[in-house]
Chain A
Amino acid sequence: MMKIKVWGCRGSLPSPGPENIVYGGNTSCIQIIKDDMCIILDGGSGIQRLGKIISPEIQEIHILLTHLHIDHTMGLGFFQPLYNPNTKVHFWGPATSVEPLLHRLRRYFSPPLFPVRLNELPNHPEIHEVGNSEFTIGPLKFRTSYIGHAGPTLGYRVTDGGKTFVYMPDHEPSLASVDFPNMPEWTSGYDLARDADLLFHDGEYTPDEYKTKIGWGHSSINDAINFGRICEVKKLAVFHHDPLNSDERLEEIYKDAMSQENPAYEVVLCKEGDVYEV
């Protein structure tokens, strides 16, 4: 069994405030808790709080990035274990055809975005480029593939024994599909999400909002529900909440989508602080 803890599920921009107490304001960061390993998906602003509770005794941390948009990387420089000389940090992220991942990460770790450069850290992080790949970290099996979002972007499928968690925080399957949601095998991310026990998937917009934001790389909550349905996942946790939406508004959107789509499987809204067992 693995546990999935949400440290940030807000999209695009941190949005702290009393109106966002329930679902939280930090951007993408997920912790996979398995044995004594430290595995983190994305380095949004949520990673700063996570860094504070990680034991300084831990020797190895893996941070797996879906892509390098700022809401998925903005917390990295504030992740305290990076400054611990006894801790080795591994960065995993999408390969491109042109520029190495290391160079792209250096853009963030340099002025004016951030004062500390990667080579000024006590331990230079180890960089792993992945694309349509399979690899293991401890007992966990990872499969990655490029999915439909602006720029090189990965989805992650994590398998522990017979249980599977899939993470696609930024994904626009209705655009990256031949006939969404009618041709699963011609839909971005289908192979990755198929039969997952738990799927975290982008559901930023209402269907009406999505009409004016086609091509921005994100989904309506209705499309997220339909994507989960065609992939036959057991549970969907809707992710990447619009920073403009309050708790109250998110729950309205959720209720509307649930009544419109009437999914035959479990659908919830991701909340910062939630822990899922898979």
Chain B
Amino acid sequence: MAGQPIELILARQFGDTLSQAVFLVDPEGNLLFYNEKAEMILGVRFGETGAMTQEEWSKMFQPKDEQGRPLSPEDLPLVKTLSDHKPAHGSFYISSATGERHLINVTSIPVEGRPHRFLGAMALFWNSVE
């Protein structure tokens, strides 16, 4: 049971207090946390998913573009941020665990600690009205 760096602890605590959906991952893309609002959109509670790799979560919600074509993980803002350590933004469709289709807008940001340590990424997302 390894301890988390202070920056991710505070990021998780921050995300837990927000009413916007938040998804937090480590530098390898492993899921660390998502908050209650994200649970509503994704249709599954954080406590039920357990640890997920980037490969797992990037496919689990079946991201698709406007034409219904599947998006590759590399097209997702959070994966882009993990790759280039820069903010990214995008809109796409997901299918929740309960089968609902959502159009979501996602903005992801890198989490960098002192001094310039890349510690993971945080995505904030909104459920758009189709």
A residues adjacent to B (C-beta < 8 A) = 94-97, 129, 131-132, 145-148, 152, 176-178, 184-192, 194
- Compute how far the CA of A203 lies from the CA of B101 in the bound complex, rounded to whole angstroms: 51
Is B129's CB within 8 Å of the partner chain A?
Answer: no
- Compute how far the CA of A146 lies from the CA of B6 in the bound complex, rounded to whole angstroms: 7
| A-B Cβ contacts below 8 A, count | 60
B108-130 interface code vs A (CB 8 A; 1 in, 0 out) = 00001111110000000000000
Is B37's CB within 8 Å of the partner chain A?
Answer: no
Whether B16 lies near A131 (C-beta < 8 A) is: no
Interface size on B, residues (CB 8 A): 18
| 10 shortest interchain CB distances as A-B pairs | A191-B3, A190-B3, A95-B115, A97-B115, A188-B6, A185-B1, A146-B6, A185-B3, A97-B114, A96-B114
Which stretch in B7-15, B71-79, B87-95 binds the other chain? B7-15
Is B53's CB within 8 Å of the partner chain A?
Answer: no
Q: Find the A residue at minimum CB distance from B116.
A: A97
How far does the Cβ of A70 sit from chain B's closest Cβ, in whole Å? 20
Q: Find the B residue at minimum CB distance from A146.
A: B6
Q: A97-B114, A97-B116, A131-B114 are in contact. Are A178 and B9 (CB under 8 A)?
A: yes
Whether B115 lies near A131 (C-beta < 8 A) is: yes
11 A–B pairs (Cβ distance < 8 Å), ordered by A: A97-B112, A97-B116, A145-B5, A146-B5, A148-B9, A176-B6, A176-B13, A178-B13, A185-B3, A186-B9, A187-B9
